[in-house]
A and B are shown apart, each in its own frame.
Chain A
Amino acid sequence: MLRLECPSCGPRNAAEFRYGGEYNPRPAPSSSATDNEWTRYLYLRQNSMGVQTEWWYHRSGCGMWFLVERDRRTNQVTRSWQWTVDMDDDARQETT
């Protein structure tokens, strides 16, 4: 079974966590996005054949929501870290 590293608790079995979907920051405020951008945010995902940044929730543990970088072909996890505000800022910069 996959092992994930909770930034607070350390390496744990994947069954302790809940997958939270692809990292997908919300356009802020929602009124600032065009219809296209808003549709992408709601319904489209990268779904990359390769490394993905995704959310995980330590449901049976400390209750931390954190991010993980995982290669979806090999299921290898490269890193896990707690969200910081500059992440979303950087992501928004990239899309504009």
Chain B
Amino acid sequence: MKPTKPTPRRPVLRVRAGRHLHGGPLTYAVLIVFTLGSLFPLVWTAIAASRNNTRLSQTPPPFWFGGNLFRNLHTAWTDANMGLALLNTAVVAGTIALGTVLFSTLAGFAFAKLRFRFKNVLMLLVVATMMVPPQLSVVPLFMTVAELQWTDQLQAVILPTLVSAFGVFFMRQYLVQALPSELVEAARVDGASSLRIIWHIVFPAARPAMAVLGMLTFVAAWNDFFWPIIALTQDNPTVQVALANLGQGFVPDQSVIMAGALLGTLPLLLAFVLFGRQIVGGIMQGAVKG
């Protein structure tokens, strides 16, 4: 065997800088502290939910799990109507996400690739409305809902949020780049109808953006607070309405309140564990595009 002589390595010409630098120990330390800070309140929700009210009224506060988790979850499920709330929220958030994605893709495609009158004016209108706060429409919406006797019915929270100006803008920005105009024109020349173009060309091209928009809309709809708390009551609540009632003294037991908070958050946390990378990718992608 020939002894390998250590050959002197040529000096590397490329300088390591920017994102090619490795993080040092301090980088990791700060990131770990920040991550712990992000996760701790959630973990502590579970800890508090597994204790009882007496234990939560003592110092030092508990740092580890107790044995009351399932009893508290059960109480929250029955007394605070969390079971119905979860079902309602799934229906509401699912419908809103579906509607927003569908309508935003159609409108976004039209704004990105089709010619029609008033196109620019209409697009300007869409962009202008992205800034209008929900507070500005809550009084008339409440009157309408009362007039139609929709109080406590899910359509009262679904219909006003079924479309979003941001969604249309987002899909337009994506389709302008991602969908070649030649493809649409070629399909036209071949005599394809608009519906066929939508189904066979636009939807496949838009799929990544549709997924991102769907996820973001679902999370936003799941966590929507202001309008549901006005339109719904404890009799037919969404998760946020049920939690608001818990927090405002519906059940005076702190550990049950924490159990309710845990129940209401768990579905989205589960989705984060499963699709975390995709959601992170979606938000970062949306940031660059937007």
A binds B: no
What residues of chain A have their CB less than 8 Å away from a CB belonging to chain B? none
